[in-house]
């Protein structure tokens, strides 16, 4: 082989292990925990302040926003990715501003509810245009921007129904939150925000990664030119 020349085996690298792909998709255990800390702190601190009269809503909001900013600053200081931390900062900051202006703790959840609805609508629209959003996200986050999800009919169909499934779950989550918001059930809304956040997302992500890997292994067998080269008798 000439120096600098790549073989088919180099170009067609094997898929990373399932656990590695899932870790990248979810940000690892640390990413899950960090993204949940600000809103969890708000729920706990606001519950104590609301039911025991220890402090006003403003204190809960300041603590939540401060936690999100602290996590982002810590990651920046270590030159680490702040993607998951910034999601927490933006969501908490906008929600905190709305709750501060209205004086109603439940309004901190409004940005997340709106975003959930936007996600669901975007997913359904992408399926209608035969560009399922979950396939695009899988490509960008886990397949190095590859286009095989569009070139492989089975993979395209799978991402189509997976995108619809994601949208249905998001719509169900939104429906529960809207009802609790209308009922002024602040505490239950906070609990629903946590219970319907990462757990269903993690299950959907696991199903998506597993299905994509299964189809790729069935329709795109890994070539072994390197093994054939080794087995060839010497001249």
Average pLDDT over residues 132-136: 91
Q: How many residues does the chain have?
A: 235
List the structure tokens of 21.
């792909």
List the structure tokens of 162.
């997976």
Distance CA 96, CA 106 (A): 10
Helix (H, G, I), strand (E, B) or coil at 2: coil
State residue 207's pLDDT score.
94
Average pLDDT over residues 197-206: 88
Contacts of 113 (CB under 8 A, 6+ apart): 174, 177, 178, 181
Cα 95 to Cα 32, 33, 187, distances in angstroms: 20, 20, 16
180, 43 contact by CB (below 8 A)? no
State residue 133's pLDDT score.
92
Question: Of the spans 70-79, 103-112, 157-166, 217-226, which averages the highest pLDDT?
Answer: 157-166
46, 105 contact by CB (below 8 A)? yes
116: phi > 0 → left, psi -120 to 50 → alpha, else beta; which?
Answer: alpha
Which carries the bigger pLDDT value, residue 83 or residue 91?
91
Token pair 């629209």: residue: 125
pLDDT of 9 > 80? The answer is: no
């Amino acid at each position: 082989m000439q120096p600098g020349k790549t073989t088919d085996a180099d170009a067609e690298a094997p898929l990373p292990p399932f656990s590695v792909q899932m870790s990248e998709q979810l940000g690892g255990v640390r990413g899950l925990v960090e993204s949940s800390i600000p809103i969890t702190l708000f729920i706990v601190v606001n519950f104590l302040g609301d039911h025991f009269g220890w402090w006003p809503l403003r204190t809960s909001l300041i603590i939540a926003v401060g936690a999100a900013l602290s996590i982002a600053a810590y990651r920046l200081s270590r030159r680490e990715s702040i993607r998951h931390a910034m999601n927490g900062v933006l969501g908490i900051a906008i929600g905190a501003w709305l709750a501060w202006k209205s004086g109603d703790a439940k309004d901190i959840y409004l940005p997340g509810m709106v975003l959930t609805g936007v996600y669901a609508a975007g997913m359904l629209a992408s399926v209608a245009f035969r560009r399922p959003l979950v396939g695009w996200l899988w490509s960008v986050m886990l397949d190095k921007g590859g286009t095989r999800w569009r070139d492989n009919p089975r993979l395209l169909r799978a991402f189509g129904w997976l995108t619809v499934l994601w949208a249905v779950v998001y719509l169900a989550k939104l429906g529960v939150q809207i009802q609790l918001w209308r009922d002024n059930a602040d505490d239950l809304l906070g609990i629903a925000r946590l219970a319907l956040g990462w757990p269903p997302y993690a299950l959907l992500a696991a199903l998506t990664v597993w299905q994509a890997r299964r189809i790729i292994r069935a329709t795109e067998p890994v070539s072994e030119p390197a093994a054939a080269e080794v087995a060839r008798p010497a001249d």
